[in-house]
Amino acid sequence: MKKWFISSALTLGLLASLPLAASANSYTIVKGDTLWSIGERYSVSVLDLQKTNDIEGSLIYPGQVLTLPTAVSAEERDLLSRLVHAEAKGEPYEGKVAVATVVLNRVNSSQFPNTIKEVINQSNAFTPVQNGSINKPADQEAKKAVDEAITFGGQGNGSLFFYNPDTATSDWIFSREVITKIGNHNFAK
């Protein structure tokens, strides 16, 4: 009994000395960390990290414990990567990041559904969903663009739409305010 008590006390002591990063909802900063690297590692945006932890700017320090906001799931990341691959094949990398950002901006907008899956599968929202090309695997560049968009989330120009002005047929889309043009796509509010 005495051995069990000593063993249990040692185990509890070891557990108490572990960094708080062991918690699924927190992370203890170590030397060399940045908000960007933490965001990439945990699939959360820098802005969400700042907002959740009441941080202004980018100053963090080793030993500081951050609360991690809700991350994008592996399933959502894969779906978004496949959409980016299908929608922006042949477009510059920056355009791929912007396409992913449009989806994330829609999730954060009250005008659209609240999840990546619901936004992507919204009726008539994305041609690759309609024609089935979303079912093809994403390439590495699309995956990287999605990772960057997730980490960068909330820091873009608020684009909610994108279209190719040479092939678009909807008069409605031409009424949207164009924020930027990247490759063959216009990005609009």
Q: What is the 3-state secondary structure (H, E, C) of 84-104?
A: HHHHHCCCCHHHHHHHHHHHH
Q: What is the mean predicted confidence (pLDDT) over 146-175?
A: 87
Contacts of 163 (CB under 8 A, 6+ apart): 170, 173, 185, 186, 188
pLDDT at 18: 31
Task: Give the global pTM.
Answer: 0.76
Dist. CA 76–CA 73, nearest whole Å: 5
Which of these, 64, 95, 96, lies nearest to 82 by C-alpha position?
96
The superfamily (CATH) of domain 2-67 is: LysM domain (3.10.350.10)
Q: Residue 99 pLDDT > 90, yes or no?
A: yes
The CA-atom distances, in angstroms, between 113 and each of 19, 101, 109, 185 are 37, 15, 8, 23
Of residues 12 and 53, the one with the higher pLDDT is: 53
Fold of 74-188: Arc Repressor Mutant, subunit A (1.10.10)
Mean of per-residue pLDDT scores for the chain: 85
Q: What is the mean predicted confidence (pLDDT) over 47-70?
A: 92
Q: What is the mean predicted confidence (pLDDT) over 136-143?
A: 97
Q: Is the dihedral of CA 10, 16, 19, 24 positive or negative?
A: positive
Domain boundaries, the chain: 2-67, 74-188
pLDDT at 72: 87
Share of the chain above pLDDT 90, in %: 68
β-bridge partners, 28: 65
Q: How many Cα atoms occupy the beta-carbon half-sphere of 132 within 13 Å?
A: 0
